[in-house]
Amino acid sequence: MTILPANASPAALDRCHAVILAGGSGTRLWPLSRALFPKQLLALNGDLSLLQQTVRRVLSLFPPERVHIVTNEEHVFEVRAQARSLDERLDTQVLAEPVGRNTLPAILLGLDAAMNAAKGTAEADAAALPPLLAVFPSDHQLHDEARWGAAVTRGAGLAAEGWTVTFGVPPTTPETGYGYIRRGAPLPTADAAPQGAAFAVDGFVEKPDLETARGFLRQGMHFWNSGMFVLNGGVLLSAVERFQPALAAWWTTRTDTTLAPGIPLTHGYSTLPSISIDYGIMEHVDRIAVVEAAFGWDDLGSWEALYRLGAKDERGCVVQGDTMALDCDDCLLLSRGGKLVAIGLSNVIAVQTRDATLICAKDQVQRVKDVVEKLKAEKSPLVDVHLTVRRPWGNYTVLDEGPGRKVKRIEVNPGARLSLQMHHHRSEHWVVAKGAALVQVGNEERTLTENEWMDIPKATLHRLTNPGRIPLELIEIQSGPYLGEDDIVRFDDVYGRRKEG
Q: By C-alpha distance, which of 128, 126, 95, 97 is closest to 113?
A: 95
DSSP 151: H
> 135-149, 248-262, 279-293: which range is least confident on average?
248-262
Q: What is the mean pLDDT of residues 286-291?
A: 94
Does residue 260 or residue 263 have the better pLDDT?
263
pLDDT > 70? residue 191: no
pTM: 0.86
Q: By C-alpha distance, which of 359, 335, 114 is closest to 233?
A: 114
pLDDT > 80? residue 353: yes
Q: What is the pLDDT of residues 3-32, one digit of tens each?
A: 333 334 557 888 999 999 998 878 899 999
What's the maximum distance between 2 C-alpha atoms anywhere in the chain?
75
Cα 53 from Cα 140, distance rounded (Å) = 9
The crossing angle, in degrees rounded to 10, of helices 103-118 and 245-255 is: 30
> 132-141, 157-166, 261-270, 482-491: which range is least confident on average?
261-270
pLDDT > 70? residue 500: no
pLDDT > 70? residue 378: yes
CB 239 within 8 A of CB 270: no
CB atoms within 10 A of CB 185: 8
Q: What is the pLDDT of residues 320-341, one digit of tens each?
A: 999 999 999 999 999 998 899 9
